[in-house]
Amino acid sequence: MLPMLLFGCLGAITWAIRGTSGWGGIDGTLVPGLTWGMLWYYLCWRKGLDARGIVLWLGLGLGLGGELGYGQYVSWIRGSFETASGPLPVSPWTGYLWFAVCGIGWAAPGGILLGWALHAGVSPGKWTVRVLLLLALLVILFDAPLPGLDAGAVSWTGTQLARTAPGLLFPLADTSLYVGELDRHLIRTVYTNTQNAGALVWWLCALLLAVLQRDRATLVCGAVLGAGFGVGFALSAAWCLGYGIAPAYIDWWKMWELHAGFNLGVLYALLWYWVVRRAVKSMPEGTSPPPVSFNPSQEWFATFFMAFSGFLLVFAAGAEYFFWTGLLLALFYALSLIILAMPGGTKGGGPSATELRKRVSFIYSAFLLVFILIHGATSRLGVFLECYSPSEVDQYAWPFARIALFLPPALLVTIVTLYCLVRARFVSEKQCSAEQYLAGRMIDLFAFIALVGALSIWPEKIGVLYALFLMVALFAFTRINRRFDGINAGRG
Protein backbone atom coordinates (compact mmCIF):
# COMPACT_ATOMS: atom_id res chain seq x y z
CA MET A 1 0.00 0.00 0.00
CA LEU A 2 2.82 2.44 0.77
CA PRO A 3 4.47 2.06 -2.67
CA MET A 4 1.04 2.55 -4.24
CA LEU A 5 0.64 5.83 -2.36
CA LEU A 6 4.17 6.90 -3.27
CA PHE A 7 3.89 6.09 -6.97
CA GLY A 8 0.34 7.45 -7.12
CA CYS A 9 0.93 10.79 -5.40
CA LEU A 10 4.12 11.65 -7.28
CA GLY A 11 2.41 10.43 -10.44
CA ALA A 12 -0.43 12.87 -9.83
CA ILE A 13 1.94 15.83 -9.47
CA THR A 14 4.11 14.95 -12.46
CA TRP A 15 1.22 14.05 -14.77
CA ALA A 16 -0.33 17.42 -13.97
CA ILE A 17 3.03 19.10 -14.70
CA ARG A 18 2.94 17.33 -18.07
CA GLY A 19 -0.33 19.05 -18.91
CA THR A 20 0.92 22.58 -18.14
CA SER A 21 2.35 25.33 -20.33
CA GLY A 22 6.07 24.76 -20.78
CA TRP A 23 5.91 21.11 -21.75
CA GLY A 24 4.68 19.54 -24.96
CA GLY A 25 3.45 16.02 -25.61
CA ILE A 26 6.27 13.49 -25.38
CA ASP A 27 8.73 15.69 -23.49
CA GLY A 28 6.10 16.47 -20.86
CA THR A 29 5.21 12.81 -20.40
CA LEU A 30 8.89 12.08 -19.71
CA VAL A 31 8.44 13.84 -16.37
CA PRO A 32 6.08 11.26 -14.78
CA GLY A 33 7.78 8.39 -16.63
CA LEU A 34 11.29 9.16 -15.40
CA THR A 35 9.97 9.96 -11.91
CA TRP A 36 8.34 6.53 -11.69
CA GLY A 37 11.57 5.06 -13.01
CA MET A 38 13.56 6.68 -10.20
CA LEU A 39 11.06 5.38 -7.62
CA TRP A 40 11.30 1.91 -9.17
CA TYR A 41 15.08 2.01 -8.95
CA TYR A 42 15.13 3.25 -5.35
CA LEU A 43 12.68 0.68 -3.99
CA CYS A 44 14.54 -2.10 -5.81
CA TRP A 45 17.79 -0.81 -4.33
CA ARG A 46 16.29 -1.06 -0.85
CA LYS A 47 15.38 -4.67 -1.68
CA GLY A 48 18.94 -5.42 -2.80
CA LEU A 49 18.04 -5.46 -6.52
CA ASP A 50 19.74 -3.51 -9.30
CA ALA A 51 17.23 -1.63 -11.46
CA ARG A 52 19.45 1.14 -12.86
CA GLY A 53 18.93 -0.06 -16.42
CA ILE A 54 15.14 0.27 -16.18
CA VAL A 55 14.74 3.97 -15.39
CA LEU A 56 15.42 5.46 -18.83
CA TRP A 57 13.34 2.92 -20.75
CA LEU A 58 10.40 3.25 -18.40
CA GLY A 59 10.45 7.02 -18.93
CA LEU A 60 11.03 6.97 -22.68
CA GLY A 61 8.45 4.26 -23.26
CA LEU A 62 5.74 6.13 -21.41
CA GLY A 63 6.77 9.40 -23.05
CA LEU A 64 5.83 8.10 -26.49
CA GLY A 65 2.15 8.11 -25.56
CA GLY A 66 2.30 11.88 -25.24
CA GLU A 67 1.99 12.20 -29.00
CA LEU A 68 -1.58 10.83 -28.98
CA GLY A 69 -4.53 13.21 -28.98
CA TYR A 70 -7.91 13.01 -27.25
CA GLY A 71 -9.27 16.57 -26.96
CA GLN A 72 -12.51 16.06 -28.88
CA TYR A 73 -13.44 13.08 -26.70
CA VAL A 74 -14.21 15.50 -23.86
CA SER A 75 -17.29 16.77 -25.68
CA TRP A 76 -18.27 13.23 -26.70
CA ILE A 77 -18.61 12.05 -23.09
CA ARG A 78 -20.97 14.99 -22.61
CA GLY A 79 -23.08 13.79 -25.55
CA SER A 80 -21.95 16.39 -28.10
CA PHE A 81 -20.16 15.75 -31.41
CA GLU A 82 -18.76 18.95 -32.94
CA THR A 83 -19.13 19.67 -36.67
CA ALA A 84 -18.82 22.80 -38.78
CA SER A 85 -22.63 23.07 -38.95
CA GLY A 86 -23.04 22.71 -35.19
CA PRO A 87 -22.99 19.98 -32.54
CA LEU A 88 -24.76 16.66 -33.05
CA PRO A 89 -25.92 14.28 -30.30
CA VAL A 90 -23.66 11.27 -29.71
CA SER A 91 -23.67 8.52 -27.09
CA PRO A 92 -21.39 9.38 -24.14
CA TRP A 93 -20.18 5.78 -24.22
CA THR A 94 -18.55 6.55 -27.56
CA GLY A 95 -16.36 9.09 -25.79
CA TYR A 96 -15.50 6.75 -22.93
CA LEU A 97 -14.64 3.97 -25.38
CA TRP A 98 -12.20 6.17 -27.27
CA PHE A 99 -10.74 7.51 -24.05
CA ALA A 100 -10.01 3.88 -23.15
CA VAL A 101 -8.38 3.26 -26.53
CA CYS A 102 -6.27 6.40 -26.11
CA GLY A 103 -5.32 5.39 -22.55
CA ILE A 104 -4.00 2.07 -23.88
CA GLY A 105 -1.92 3.96 -26.42
CA TRP A 106 -0.51 6.30 -23.74
CA ALA A 107 0.61 3.57 -21.34
CA ALA A 108 1.22 0.50 -23.50
CA PRO A 109 4.60 1.57 -24.96
CA GLY A 110 5.85 2.21 -21.43
CA GLY A 111 4.80 -1.29 -20.41
CA ILE A 112 6.40 -2.91 -23.45
CA LEU A 113 9.73 -1.11 -23.05
CA LEU A 114 9.70 -1.82 -19.32
CA GLY A 115 9.25 -5.51 -20.11
CA TRP A 116 12.13 -5.37 -22.58
CA ALA A 117 14.36 -3.82 -19.93
CA LEU A 118 13.38 -6.57 -17.48
CA HIS A 119 13.84 -9.34 -20.05
CA ALA A 120 17.54 -8.78 -20.75
CA GLY A 121 20.11 -11.09 -22.32
CA VAL A 122 18.11 -11.78 -25.50
CA SER A 123 19.60 -12.81 -28.83
CA PRO A 124 20.65 -10.36 -31.59
CA GLY A 125 17.64 -11.50 -33.60
CA LYS A 126 15.30 -10.39 -30.83
CA TRP A 127 17.08 -7.04 -30.55
CA THR A 128 16.48 -6.57 -34.29
CA VAL A 129 12.77 -7.37 -34.01
CA ARG A 130 12.46 -4.94 -31.11
CA VAL A 131 14.04 -2.14 -33.14
CA LEU A 132 11.67 -2.79 -36.04
CA LEU A 133 8.67 -2.80 -33.69
CA LEU A 134 9.85 0.47 -32.18
CA LEU A 135 10.23 2.03 -35.63
CA ALA A 136 6.68 0.93 -36.50
CA LEU A 137 5.38 2.74 -33.41
CA LEU A 138 7.23 5.93 -34.37
CA VAL A 139 5.66 5.75 -37.84
CA ILE A 140 2.21 5.66 -36.18
CA LEU A 141 2.91 8.40 -33.67
CA PHE A 142 4.57 10.83 -36.07
CA ASP A 143 2.51 10.02 -39.15
CA ALA A 144 5.67 9.20 -41.08
CA PRO A 145 5.26 8.71 -44.84
CA LEU A 146 5.65 5.22 -46.29
CA PRO A 147 6.94 4.40 -49.80
CA GLY A 148 4.27 4.87 -52.43
CA LEU A 149 2.02 7.09 -50.27
CA ASP A 150 1.37 10.76 -50.98
CA ALA A 151 0.73 11.44 -47.27
CA GLY A 152 1.72 10.18 -43.84
CA ALA A 153 0.77 6.63 -42.94
CA VAL A 154 -1.89 7.68 -40.43
CA SER A 155 -3.34 10.47 -42.58
CA TRP A 156 -3.53 8.22 -45.65
CA THR A 157 -5.11 5.34 -43.72
CA GLY A 158 -7.65 7.62 -42.08
CA THR A 159 -8.64 9.16 -45.40
CA GLN A 160 -9.16 5.73 -46.98
CA LEU A 161 -11.23 4.51 -44.03
CA ALA A 162 -13.40 7.65 -44.05
CA ARG A 163 -14.17 7.04 -47.72
CA THR A 164 -14.71 3.29 -47.67
CA ALA A 165 -15.55 2.13 -44.13
CA PRO A 166 -16.26 5.07 -41.78
CA GLY A 167 -18.23 2.86 -39.43
CA LEU A 168 -15.06 1.00 -38.47
CA LEU A 169 -13.56 3.84 -36.41
CA PHE A 170 -15.62 7.03 -36.66
CA PRO A 171 -18.81 8.05 -34.77
CA LEU A 172 -22.10 8.82 -36.55
CA ALA A 173 -20.92 6.96 -39.65
CA ASP A 174 -24.55 6.14 -40.54
CA THR A 175 -25.02 9.80 -41.52
CA SER A 176 -23.48 11.60 -44.50
CA LEU A 177 -20.85 13.35 -42.38
CA TYR A 178 -17.90 11.62 -44.03
CA VAL A 179 -19.08 12.06 -47.62
CA GLY A 180 -17.18 14.62 -49.66
CA GLU A 181 -14.75 17.15 -48.22
CA LEU A 182 -14.43 17.00 -44.43
CA ASP A 183 -14.52 20.05 -42.16
CA ARG A 184 -11.74 20.69 -39.66
CA HIS A 185 -13.61 18.96 -36.81
CA LEU A 186 -14.08 15.80 -38.84
CA ILE A 187 -10.50 15.88 -40.13
CA ARG A 188 -9.33 15.97 -36.53
CA THR A 189 -11.62 13.11 -35.58
CA VAL A 190 -10.49 10.95 -38.49
CA TYR A 191 -6.81 11.54 -37.77
CA THR A 192 -7.05 11.12 -33.98
CA ASN A 193 -9.14 7.96 -34.07
CA THR A 194 -6.95 6.40 -36.74
CA GLN A 195 -3.77 7.16 -34.80
CA ASN A 196 -5.18 5.86 -31.52
CA ALA A 197 -6.45 2.73 -33.23
CA GLY A 198 -3.01 2.25 -34.78
CA ALA A 199 -1.41 2.43 -31.33
CA LEU A 200 -3.94 -0.15 -30.10
CA VAL A 201 -3.02 -2.53 -32.95
CA TRP A 202 0.68 -1.98 -32.20
CA TRP A 203 0.07 -2.92 -28.55
CA LEU A 204 -1.66 -6.14 -29.54
CA CYS A 205 1.19 -7.01 -31.92
CA ALA A 206 3.76 -6.32 -29.18
CA LEU A 207 1.88 -8.64 -26.79
CA LEU A 208 1.71 -11.33 -29.48
CA LEU A 209 5.45 -11.00 -30.03
CA ALA A 210 6.01 -11.40 -26.29
CA VAL A 211 3.98 -14.62 -26.38
CA LEU A 212 5.98 -15.96 -29.33
CA GLN A 213 9.28 -15.06 -27.66
CA ARG A 214 8.10 -16.47 -24.30
CA ASP A 215 8.78 -13.08 -22.75
CA ARG A 216 6.59 -13.16 -19.66
CA ALA A 217 7.85 -9.84 -18.27
CA THR A 218 6.86 -7.91 -21.40
CA LEU A 219 3.53 -9.72 -21.65
CA VAL A 220 2.55 -8.91 -18.06
CA CYS A 221 3.87 -5.33 -18.01
CA GLY A 222 2.36 -4.49 -21.39
CA ALA A 223 -1.01 -6.04 -20.55
CA VAL A 224 -1.33 -4.52 -17.06
CA LEU A 225 -0.31 -1.00 -18.03
CA GLY A 226 -2.16 -0.95 -21.36
CA ALA A 227 -5.46 -2.44 -20.23
CA GLY A 228 -5.27 -0.93 -16.74
CA PHE A 229 -4.71 2.62 -17.91
CA GLY A 230 -7.27 2.20 -20.66
CA VAL A 231 -9.85 1.84 -17.90
CA GLY A 232 -8.17 4.38 -15.61
CA PHE A 233 -7.88 7.05 -18.30
CA ALA A 234 -11.58 6.79 -19.14
CA LEU A 235 -12.57 6.92 -15.47
CA SER A 236 -10.46 9.98 -14.72
CA ALA A 237 -11.94 11.76 -17.75
CA ALA A 238 -15.27 11.85 -15.93
CA TRP A 239 -13.97 14.90 -14.03
CA CYS A 240 -14.59 16.88 -17.24
CA LEU A 241 -18.32 16.45 -16.68
CA GLY A 242 -17.89 19.14 -14.04
CA TYR A 243 -17.35 21.91 -16.60
CA GLY A 244 -19.65 24.78 -15.72
CA ILE A 245 -19.69 23.90 -12.01
CA ALA A 246 -17.64 26.17 -9.73
CA PRO A 247 -15.26 27.24 -12.53
CA ALA A 248 -13.86 30.03 -10.36
CA TYR A 249 -11.79 27.77 -8.16
CA ILE A 250 -11.78 24.25 -9.66
CA ASP A 251 -9.88 23.36 -12.81
CA TRP A 252 -11.68 20.19 -13.85
CA TRP A 253 -9.12 19.38 -16.54
CA LYS A 254 -6.35 19.57 -13.94
CA MET A 255 -8.38 17.37 -11.61
CA TRP A 256 -8.54 14.85 -14.44
CA GLU A 257 -4.76 14.98 -14.89
CA LEU A 258 -4.11 14.55 -11.17
CA HIS A 259 -6.44 11.54 -11.11
CA ALA A 260 -4.96 9.99 -14.28
CA GLY A 261 -1.42 10.30 -12.91
CA PHE A 262 -2.46 8.71 -9.64
CA ASN A 263 -4.16 5.82 -11.45
CA LEU A 264 -1.14 5.04 -13.62
CA GLY A 265 1.21 5.38 -10.65
CA VAL A 266 -0.73 2.71 -8.78
CA LEU A 267 -0.38 0.37 -11.77
CA TYR A 268 3.39 0.88 -11.82
CA ALA A 269 3.53 0.16 -8.09
CA LEU A 270 1.62 -3.10 -8.60
CA LEU A 271 4.03 -4.11 -11.36
CA TRP A 272 6.99 -3.25 -9.15
CA TYR A 273 5.57 -5.54 -6.47
CA TRP A 274 5.11 -8.37 -8.99
CA VAL A 275 8.63 -7.98 -10.39
CA VAL A 276 10.26 -7.89 -6.96
CA ARG A 277 8.31 -10.92 -5.77
CA ARG A 278 9.50 -12.87 -8.82
CA ALA A 279 13.09 -11.76 -8.31
CA VAL A 280 13.13 -12.61 -4.61
CA LYS A 281 11.57 -16.04 -5.15
CA SER A 282 14.10 -16.90 -7.86
CA MET A 283 17.18 -16.55 -5.63
CA PRO A 284 18.23 -17.99 -2.26
CA GLU A 285 17.73 -15.81 0.80
CA GLY A 286 20.50 -13.30 1.36
CA THR A 287 21.87 -13.43 -2.18
CA SER A 288 21.68 -11.16 -5.19
CA PRO A 289 20.37 -12.10 -8.63
CA PRO A 290 23.08 -13.64 -10.81
CA PRO A 291 24.52 -11.30 -13.44
CA VAL A 292 23.10 -11.60 -16.94
CA SER A 293 25.48 -13.53 -19.17
CA PHE A 294 26.32 -11.92 -22.54
CA ASN A 295 28.59 -13.17 -25.26
CA PRO A 296 30.59 -10.60 -27.34
CA SER A 297 28.01 -10.59 -30.14
CA GLN A 298 25.18 -9.91 -27.71
CA GLU A 299 27.20 -7.15 -26.05
CA TRP A 300 27.60 -5.31 -29.35
CA PHE A 301 23.94 -5.70 -30.26
CA ALA A 302 22.79 -4.65 -26.80
CA THR A 303 24.95 -1.52 -26.82
CA PHE A 304 23.96 -0.49 -30.33
CA PHE A 305 20.28 -1.27 -29.69
CA MET A 306 20.22 0.90 -26.58
CA ALA A 307 22.22 3.71 -28.21
CA PHE A 308 20.12 3.74 -31.39
CA SER A 309 16.77 3.29 -29.65
CA GLY A 310 17.59 5.86 -26.99
CA PHE A 311 18.65 8.33 -29.67
CA LEU A 312 15.37 7.85 -31.54
CA LEU A 313 13.20 8.23 -28.47
CA VAL A 314 15.00 11.22 -26.95
CA PHE A 315 15.05 12.98 -30.32
CA ALA A 316 11.33 12.22 -30.73
CA ALA A 317 10.66 13.86 -27.38
CA GLY A 318 12.00 17.20 -28.58
CA ALA A 319 11.43 17.09 -32.34
CA GLU A 320 8.11 18.95 -32.24
CA TYR A 321 8.85 21.59 -29.61
CA PHE A 322 12.64 22.04 -29.42
CA PHE A 323 14.30 20.39 -32.41
CA TRP A 324 17.94 21.33 -31.90
CA THR A 325 17.90 20.89 -28.14
CA GLY A 326 16.29 17.47 -28.62
CA LEU A 327 18.92 16.51 -31.18
CA LEU A 328 21.72 17.49 -28.79
CA LEU A 329 20.10 15.56 -25.94
CA ALA A 330 19.79 12.49 -28.17
CA LEU A 331 23.40 12.71 -29.33
CA PHE A 332 24.52 13.20 -25.73
CA TYR A 333 22.97 9.89 -24.74
CA ALA A 334 24.04 7.88 -27.77
CA LEU A 335 27.65 9.07 -27.76
CA SER A 336 27.97 8.63 -23.99
CA LEU A 337 26.78 5.05 -24.22
CA ILE A 338 28.93 4.15 -27.22
CA ILE A 339 32.11 5.81 -25.91
CA LEU A 340 31.86 4.62 -22.32
CA ALA A 341 30.14 1.24 -22.65
CA MET A 342 31.25 -0.12 -26.00
CA PRO A 343 32.44 -3.74 -25.60
CA GLY A 344 36.19 -4.07 -25.84
CA GLY A 345 36.85 -0.86 -23.92
CA THR A 346 36.79 -2.43 -20.46
CA LYS A 347 40.12 -4.26 -20.32
CA GLY A 348 42.36 -4.15 -17.29
CA GLY A 349 39.82 -5.22 -14.71
CA GLY A 350 37.45 -2.27 -15.17
CA PRO A 351 33.67 -2.44 -15.07
CA SER A 352 32.02 -4.72 -17.62
CA ALA A 353 30.15 -3.38 -20.64
CA THR A 354 26.87 -4.40 -19.01
CA GLU A 355 27.74 -2.51 -15.84
CA LEU A 356 28.79 0.57 -17.79
CA ARG A 357 25.56 0.55 -19.79
CA LYS A 358 23.60 0.56 -16.55
CA ARG A 359 25.67 3.42 -15.16
CA VAL A 360 25.38 5.57 -18.27
CA SER A 361 21.65 4.89 -18.58
CA PHE A 362 20.97 5.74 -14.95
CA ILE A 363 23.08 8.91 -14.87
CA TYR A 364 21.51 10.12 -18.10
CA SER A 365 18.01 9.34 -16.77
CA ALA A 366 18.54 11.58 -13.74
CA PHE A 367 20.01 14.28 -15.98
CA LEU A 368 17.13 14.13 -18.48
CA LEU A 369 14.48 14.37 -15.75
CA VAL A 370 16.05 17.44 -14.17
CA PHE A 371 16.81 19.02 -17.56
CA ILE A 372 13.22 18.62 -18.80
CA LEU A 373 11.88 20.03 -15.53
CA ILE A 374 14.13 23.08 -15.82
CA HIS A 375 13.39 23.48 -19.53
CA GLY A 376 9.64 23.65 -19.01
CA ALA A 377 9.66 25.53 -15.71
CA THR A 378 11.28 28.61 -17.23
CA SER A 379 8.04 29.26 -19.12
CA ARG A 380 6.26 30.24 -15.90
CA LEU A 381 9.31 31.24 -13.84
CA GLY A 382 9.76 34.41 -15.84
CA VAL A 383 6.08 35.23 -15.43
CA PHE A 384 6.38 34.67 -11.68
CA LEU A 385 9.44 36.94 -11.53
CA GLU A 386 7.67 39.48 -13.81
CA CYS A 387 10.40 39.21 -16.46
CA TYR A 388 7.74 38.85 -19.13
CA SER A 389 3.97 38.51 -19.38
CA PRO A 390 2.12 35.24 -20.03
CA SER A 391 1.25 36.45 -23.52
CA GLU A 392 4.96 36.74 -24.40
CA VAL A 393 5.92 33.16 -23.67
CA ASP A 394 4.65 29.61 -23.92
CA GLN A 395 6.35 26.29 -24.62
CA TYR A 396 7.12 27.51 -28.15
CA ALA A 397 8.42 31.01 -27.35
CA TRP A 398 11.88 31.79 -25.99
CA PRO A 399 12.40 35.51 -25.36
CA PHE A 400 15.83 36.56 -24.16
CA ALA A 401 14.75 36.70 -20.51
CA ARG A 402 13.65 33.04 -20.62
CA ILE A 403 16.95 32.02 -22.22
CA ALA A 404 18.81 33.87 -19.47
CA LEU A 405 16.83 32.01 -16.82
CA PHE A 406 17.35 28.63 -18.49
CA LEU A 407 21.03 28.58 -19.48
CA PRO A 408 22.76 28.77 -16.04
CA PRO A 409 20.95 25.79 -14.42
CA ALA A 410 20.99 23.85 -17.70
CA LEU A 411 24.76 24.27 -18.08
CA LEU A 412 25.31 23.41 -14.43
CA VAL A 413 23.35 20.15 -14.59
CA THR A 414 25.09 19.24 -17.86
CA ILE A 415 28.57 19.81 -16.40
CA VAL A 416 27.72 17.76 -13.30
CA THR A 417 26.40 14.97 -15.52
CA LEU A 418 29.58 14.93 -17.62
CA TYR A 419 31.64 14.64 -14.46
CA CYS A 420 29.48 11.75 -13.22
CA LEU A 421 29.74 9.96 -16.56
CA VAL A 422 33.53 10.22 -16.69
CA ARG A 423 33.79 9.13 -13.07
CA ALA A 424 31.50 6.16 -13.72
CA ARG A 425 34.02 4.81 -16.23
CA PHE A 426 36.67 4.33 -13.55
CA VAL A 427 34.82 3.72 -10.27
CA SER A 428 34.67 0.10 -9.16
CA GLU A 429 31.34 -1.68 -8.77
CA LYS A 430 31.81 -1.86 -5.00
CA GLN A 431 32.36 1.90 -4.75
CA CYS A 432 29.48 2.58 -7.12
CA SER A 433 26.98 0.63 -5.02
CA ALA A 434 28.02 2.18 -1.70
CA GLU A 435 25.41 4.96 -1.77
CA GLN A 436 24.89 6.53 1.65
CA TYR A 437 22.79 9.55 0.81
CA LEU A 438 20.30 8.18 -1.69
CA ALA A 439 17.21 8.63 0.50
CA GLY A 440 18.04 12.28 1.06
CA ARG A 441 18.64 12.82 -2.64
CA MET A 442 15.28 11.27 -3.45
CA ILE A 443 13.56 13.66 -1.03
CA ASP A 444 15.42 16.55 -2.70
CA LEU A 445 14.06 15.34 -6.03
CA PHE A 446 10.51 15.16 -4.64
CA ALA A 447 10.77 18.72 -3.32
CA PHE A 448 12.13 20.03 -6.62
CA ILE A 449 9.36 18.33 -8.58
CA ALA A 450 6.72 19.77 -6.27
CA LEU A 451 8.28 23.24 -6.55
CA VAL A 452 8.20 23.05 -10.35
CA GLY A 453 4.61 21.81 -10.19
CA ALA A 454 3.49 24.67 -7.96
CA LEU A 455 5.30 27.18 -10.17
CA SER A 456 3.76 25.74 -13.32
CA ILE A 457 0.21 26.14 -11.99
CA TRP A 458 0.73 29.49 -10.20
CA PRO A 459 -1.39 31.42 -9.29
CA GLU A 460 -4.23 28.87 -9.49
CA LYS A 461 -5.71 27.83 -6.15
CA ILE A 462 -5.76 24.17 -7.14
CA GLY A 463 -2.00 24.21 -6.58
CA VAL A 464 -2.76 23.40 -2.93
CA LEU A 465 -3.42 19.81 -4.07
CA TYR A 466 0.22 19.57 -5.13
CA ALA A 467 1.20 20.24 -1.53
CA LEU A 468 -1.27 17.61 -0.32
CA PHE A 469 0.08 14.97 -2.70
CA LEU A 470 3.66 15.83 -1.73
CA MET A 471 2.81 15.42 1.97
CA VAL A 472 1.29 11.98 1.35
CA ALA A 473 4.25 10.97 -0.85
CA LEU A 474 6.75 11.98 1.85
CA PHE A 475 4.68 10.15 4.46
CA ALA A 476 4.76 6.97 2.36
CA PHE A 477 8.46 7.36 1.53
CA THR A 478 9.55 7.79 5.15
CA ARG A 479 7.40 4.85 6.30
CA ILE A 480 8.85 2.66 3.54
CA ASN A 481 12.38 3.55 4.65
CA ARG A 482 11.51 2.91 8.27
CA ARG A 483 10.17 -0.50 7.31
CA PHE A 484 13.31 -1.37 5.35
CA ASP A 485 15.53 -0.12 8.18
CA GLY A 486 13.64 -2.36 10.59
CA ILE A 487 14.10 -5.37 8.30
CA ASN A 488 17.82 -4.68 7.95
CA ALA A 489 18.16 -4.40 11.70
CA GLY A 490 16.43 -7.76 12.19
CA ARG A 491 13.17 -6.31 13.52
CA GLY A 492 11.05 -6.84 10.36
Cβ atoms 250, 227 nearer than 8 A: no
- What is the reported pLDDT for 346? 46
Give this prediction's pTM.
0.91
- What is the reported pLDDT for 317? 87
Q: In terms of Cα–Cα distance, which of 217, 228, 286, 202 is closest to 7?
A: 228
445, pLDDT greater than 50: yes
Q: Is 159 exposed, middle or buried (0-12, 13-18, 19+ CB in 10 A)?
A: middle
- What is the reported pLDDT for 344? 56
pLDDT digit string, tens, across residues 10-25: 999 999 998 888 887 8
Buried b (16+ CB within 10 A) or exposed e, 309-347: bbbbbbbbbbbbbbeebbeebbebbbebbbebbbbeebe
Number of domain units in the chain: 1
405, pLDDT greater than 90: yes
- What is the reported pLDDT for 280? 78
- What is the reported pLDDT for 368? 96
- What is the reported pLDDT for 327? 94
pLDDT digit string, tens, across residues 447-479: 999 999 988 888 888 888 899 999 999 999 999
Cα dihedral across residues 250, 255, 256, 257: positive or negative: positive
193, pLDDT greater than 90: yes
CA separation for the pair 330, 340 (Å, rounded): 16
- What is the reported pLDDT for 403? 93
343, pLDDT greater than 80: no
Kindly report which listed range (114-128, 175-189, 227-241, 424-438) carries the lowest average pLDDT score: 424-438
Q: Comparing 343 with 333, which gets the higher pLDDT? A: 333
Domain span at 280: 2-488
Mean pLDDT, residues 215-226 taken together? 94
Those residues whose C-beta lies under 8 Å from the C-beta of residue 35, and which sit 6 or more positions away, are: 10, 11, 14, 59, 369, 445, 449
Q: Comparing 286 with 481, which gets the higher pLDDT? A: 481
- What is the reported pLDDT for 286? 52
CA separation for the pair 223, 429 (Å, rounded): 35
- What is the reported pLDDT for 18? 86
CB atoms within 10 A of CB 423: 13
- What is the reported pLDDT for 292? 52
pLDDT confidence bin for 211, thresholds 50/70/90: very high
Q: Comparing 342 with 432, which gets the higher pLDDT? A: 342
User: Tell me, what amino acid is at 239?
Assistant: W
pLDDT digit string, tens, across residues 36-73: 999 999 999 998 888 998 999 999 999 988 888 888 89
- What is the reported pLDDT for 413? 96
